[in-house]
Amino acid sequence: MLVAISRAPGARVDAAPAIRGGKSPADIPIVANLRWQIYVNPSRLKQAKLSLPSDIQHKGIQARVP
């Protein structure tokens, strides 16, 4: 399967302390995610009979299942 995790600065991680500090969620600006890390699990893709373009597979980080 394929999972993308945001690594953009200012992502959701910064919202929680602001809300705990008393700021209204409506007052926190929405920040677009600009960077992602892609994890590819080839065995799960094969199990699900799915395939990814080779460029995406090569850019992704191979997930290792113990």
Q: Tell me if the pTM is above 0.75.
A: no
Closest CA to 43 of 55, 35, 51: 51
Predicted local confidence at residue 6, as pLDDT = 52
> What residue numbers bound the domain in which 51 lies?
2-62
Q: What's the total number of domains in the chain?
A: 1
| 24-58 confidence digits (pLDDT tens) | 888 877 777 777 788 888 888 889 999 888 888 88
| Distance spanning both ends of the chain, measured CA to CA | 16
- CA distances, 63 to each of 1, 22, 56, 58 (Å): 9, 39, 14, 12
